[in-house]
């Protein structure tokens, strides 16, 4: 059974979350949709576009970004879409600049008078490149943020344990922006990452050839420096090795080789797991259109799945800790458009009949479930269906745990949370490592 502290905190959490859900429900009833939508009759595919949206709630504690390496990880926030509130927080582990495998010494700290006191990749140096993990936070689609205290601590742990650059997505929340806003935000970030990879590759080709026509000043302004220097658009492309590839195989073959060496992993927490699963499907459908980025695996931590036909755990644990079934239904009513509401909506039920992409095309999927979470059985059923079509889809179940046991700020230091992060790192490294080696240059 969960500890007494967990039980007490669950009572407080559920009280606050119910208050939030009821407040948001009341506000949506008082505000007709045509007052927030400049187009009173939007097309179905435009429902998510009209709202600038919000990515956090005022009552939730947030942690400011720190571009200097604190506790082994540097962070920065960027805004990637001028038409919405979509934002990103990048977590760069210190091993990217201090690892013994790196071919250059760590950069000296900037002088005190420098305007920017954070880490900036030194120009012209050889940089260690790491895989990229897109992370989607939880919160039932209506709360949570990529810069909350719990999510910041969890992503720092991921960056260090998995040795990856974590890009935490601050997607738009409901009901200000309903489905498919958050899902499309995830796809938009994946496309943005592909663009970053292409721009970084062009920049390296420019360095190799000295051709200013390959990469102009306008393109340079679009490059995110941390991802360009340390992200994993292609594990094998660093300045010296890239030059060797170009010399031996030519520019066309160098770019082709680059495209086949990409590693990107999706990780979703609770409702964020539903987003990650959607983004994975869209990545499969996009295929080579996302080149040079390729989604090689996804991790779904206690996904926010539900359905009209209750599973055994949904019946037995309906009043479970933190998120119970009634709260879950309220969140889905706030997230899905009123005319689309159904517990068997494809966004809610991964095994719904309306699912378009066959399961056999899904990437390897690790699913983490908690013993005392009413949503656990549906997540397990999803993994079983994936395994039936030969998708690597193991399930990790943790005893005496509750929903969000590995990501809530008050539970981050529990033994189960630490072990979960270690287990995720062990599994994911076989997909982000080149030919089984953790480090590749």
pLDDT digits (tens, 9 = 90+) for 366-416: 999 999 999 999 999 999 999 999 999 999 999 999 999 999 988 999 999
**Rounded distance between C-alpha atoms, residue 420 and residue 418, angstroms:** 5
Catalytic positions, please?
Answer: 270, 373, 403
Q: Give the residue with greater pLDDT, 437 vs 111.
A: 111
The yes or no reply on domain 4-14+44-99+122-432 and CATH 3.40.718.10 is no
Query: Which percentage of the chain shows pLDDT scores above 90?
Result: 54
Beta bridge partners of 142: none
Q: Give the residue with greater pLDDT, 434 vs 121.
A: 121
Residue 209 clears pLDDT 60, i.e. is over it? no
pLDDT of residue 5: 84
- Among 39-53, 190-204, 351-365, the range of highest mean pLDDT: 351-365
What pTM did the predictor assign?
0.85
* From 41-45, 68-72, 163-167, 302-306, the region with the lowest mean pLDDT: 41-45
H, E, C per residue of 56-103: CCCCCCECCCCCCCECCEEEEEEECCCCCCCEEEEEEECHHHHCCCCC
* From 63-72, 206-215, 335-344, 396-405, the region with the lowest mean pLDDT: 206-215
Residue 125 clears pLDDT 80, i.e. is over it? no
Q: What is the mean pLDDT of residues 260-285?
A: 89
Residue 59 clears pLDDT 90, i.e. is over it? no
Integer Rg of the chain from CA: 22
Q: Which two tokens stand for residue 84?
A: 């919405």
């Amino acid at each position: 059974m969960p500890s007494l502290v967990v039980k007490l905190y669950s009572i407080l959490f559920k009280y606050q979350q119910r208050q939030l859900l009821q407040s948001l429900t009341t506000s949506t009833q008082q505000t007709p949709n045509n007052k927030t939508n400049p187009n009173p009759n939007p097309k179905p595919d435009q429902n998510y576009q009209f709202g600038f949206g919000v990515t956090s709630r005022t009552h939730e504690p947030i942690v400011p970004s720190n571009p200097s390496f604190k506790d082994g990880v540097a962070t920065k926030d960027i805004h990637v879409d001028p038409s919405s509130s979509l934002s990103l927080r990048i977590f760069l582990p210190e091993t990217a600049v201090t690892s013994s495998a790196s071919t250059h010494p760590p950069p000296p700290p900037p002088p005190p008078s420098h305007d920017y006191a954070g880490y900036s990749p030194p120009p012209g140096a050889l940089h260690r490149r790491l895989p990229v993990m897109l992370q989607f936070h939880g919160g039932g689609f209506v709360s949570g943020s990529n810069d909350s205290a719990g999510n910041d601590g969890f992503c720092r742990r991921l960056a260090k344990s998995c040795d990856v650059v974590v890009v935490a997505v601050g997607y738009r929340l409901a009901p200000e922006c309903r489905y498919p806003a958050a899902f499309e935000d995830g796809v938009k970030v994946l496309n943005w990452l592909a663009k970053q990879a292409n721009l970084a590759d062009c920049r390296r080709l420019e360095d190799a050839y000295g051709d200013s026509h390959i990469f102009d000043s306008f393109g340079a302004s679009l490059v995110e420096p941390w991802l360009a220097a340390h992200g994993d658009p292609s594990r094998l492309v660093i300045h010296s090795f890239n030059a060797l590839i170009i010399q031996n195989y030519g520019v066309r073959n160098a770019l082709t080789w680059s495209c086949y060496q990409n590693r990107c992993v999706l990780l979703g927490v609770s409702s964020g797991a539903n987003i990650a699963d959607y983004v994975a499907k869209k990545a499969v459908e996009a295929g080579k259109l996302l080149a040079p980025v390729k989604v090689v695996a996804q991790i779904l931590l206690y996904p926010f799945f539900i359905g009209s036909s209750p599973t055994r755990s949904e019946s037995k644990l309906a009043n479970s800790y933190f998120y119970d079934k009634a709260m879950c239904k309220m969140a889905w009513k706030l997230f899905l458009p009123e005319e689309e509401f159904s517990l068997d909506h494809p966004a809610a039920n991964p095994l719904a009949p309306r699912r378009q992409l066959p399961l056999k095309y899904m990437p390897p999927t690790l699913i983490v479930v908690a013993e005392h979470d009413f949503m656990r059985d549906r997540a397990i059923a999803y993994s079983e269906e994936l395994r039936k079509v030969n998708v690597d889809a193991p399930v990790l179940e943790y005893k005496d745990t509750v929903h969000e046991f590995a990501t809530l700020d008050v539970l981050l230091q529990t033994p189960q949370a630490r072990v979960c992060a270690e287990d995720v790192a062990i599994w994911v490294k076989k997909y982000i490592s080149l030919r089984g080696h953790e480090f590749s240059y």
